[in-house]
Amino acid sequence: MEHERRIGVAVDFSPCSHKALKWAVENVVRDGDHLVIVTVRPEGNYEEGEAQLWATTGSLQSGHPRLDSPSLLAQFQWKYGVKPDPETLDILTTVARQKEIVVVVKIYWGDPREKICEAIDNIPLSCLVIGSRGLGKLKRALLGSVSAHVVNTASCPVTVVKNTVHGS
């Protein structure tokens, strides 16, 4: 277990998180790794008792041999309020099949800046890959940048995959 790598990817099912996931799969993940998908949901969008139970540590780890299984999708949607899109599921199913890895999904509730950093320590992650929406200076000042906060706060190496205008 001491050499087990846990590669985290922050996923919000946006185009920039798809790009970060693809980049991680192509450049970081290797046979024997655990690929940990970290997603953060807004507070108040879940079953009260379970969310309180997992407020700090996130949902139970959901490793599953078939990530596109109807029972797993139903669990994500109804129990946790997460609607994985076909592109993300395809990337995860393909990498799980092509490389000998374990894919784990952890769902947290609250502020993504705080919860992603908590996930890094609680899981713990060897490294994290996160996408950047490429906000302009004004929007970044008003909304705050999740990726910038994580880079400056995280206790593990963080790679930011920038979203470009040209989609490359």
24 is a domain residue: yes
Q: What is the reported pLDDT for 74? A: 54
Three-state SS string over 62-123 comes to EECCCCCCHHHHHHHHHHHCCCCCHHHHHHHHHHHHHCCCEEEEEEEECCHHHHHHHHHHHC
Number of domains in the chain: 1
Phi, psi of 82 (to 5 degrees): -105, 130
81 is a domain residue: yes
Question: Which domain CATH number covers 98?
Answer: 3.40.50.620
1 is a domain residue: no
Q: What region, left, alpha or beta, does residue 9 occupy, with left being phi > 0 and alpha being psi -120 to 50 degrees?
A: beta
Total-model pTM: 0.78
| Structure confidence at residue 81 as a pLDDT band (50, 70, 90) | low
Average model confidence (pLDDT) across the chain: 76
168 is a domain residue: no
Q: Which of 35-44, 62-71, 115-124, 154-163 has the lowest mean pLDDT?
A: 62-71
26 is a domain residue: yes
Q: State the Cα angle at 45 between 42 and 48, rounded to 5°.
A: 120
What percentage of the chain carries pLDDT values higher than 70? 65
Q: State the residue range of the domain holding 37.
A: 6-162
Q: Render pLDDT for 23-36 as a digit per residue (tens, 0 to 9).
A: 999 999 999 899 99
Asked if the model's pLDDT at residue 150 lies above 90, the reply is yes
167 is a domain residue: no
